[in-house]
């Protein structure tokens, strides 16, 4: 009768050690006998890397767009407030009130202006 091989951690350790050494030496694909598929594997890795890179570019662009939208919204709010304040300040009564606060004795004309010849 054949003896069944028992599972030993020593065998697992040597398998992992050999695999890591093969990866570091660049022989991993050759040891697995899939060297003829190297072009396919390399092209798949390239496509995956390009997909990840493009995804990161898109993500950074979307982040900038969101940041710019918030900035535009804040600036629109500031413009609305400034427009309101400007329209409020251009009213004659508001101008007169501000002049009184500043202590100016400038008032509306009660007589027509004199013309110089």
List, for residues 28-41, the tens digit of each pLDDT value: 777 777 778 888 98
DSSP-assigned letter for residue 91: S
Checking if the pLDDT of 46 tops 80, the result is yes
| Residue 4 pLDDT level (bands cut at 50, 70, 90) | low
pLDDT at position 96 is 80
| Span 93-111, pLDDT tens digits | 777 888 888 888 877 777 7
pTM of the model: 0.48
Which of 9, 31, 10 has the alpha carbon at shortest distance from 20? 31
Q: Which structure tokens are listed for 112?
A: 């027509």
Are residues 60 and 68 in contact, defined by beta-carbon separation less than 8 angstroms?
Answer: no
Residue carrying the six token digits 């890591």:
20
Q: Is the pLDDT of residue 2 over 60?
A: no
Q: What is the pLDDT of residues 61-78, one digit of tens each?
A: 999 999 999 999 999 999
């Amino acid at each position: 009768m054949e003896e069944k091989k028992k599972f030993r951690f020593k065998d697992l350790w040597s398998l992992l050690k050999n695999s890591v050494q093969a990866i570091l030496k660049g022989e991993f694909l050759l040891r697995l006998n899939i060297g003829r598929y190297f072009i396919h594997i390399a092209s798949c890795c390239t496509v995956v890397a390009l997909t990840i890179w493009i995804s990161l570019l898109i993500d950074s662009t979307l982040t900038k767009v969101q940041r710019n939208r918030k900035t535009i919204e804040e600036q629109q709010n500031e413009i609305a407030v400034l427009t309101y304040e400007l329209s409020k300040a251009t009213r004659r009564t508001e101008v007169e009130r501000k002049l009184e606060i500043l202590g100016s004795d400038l008032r509306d004309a009660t007589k027509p202006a004199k013309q110089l010849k």
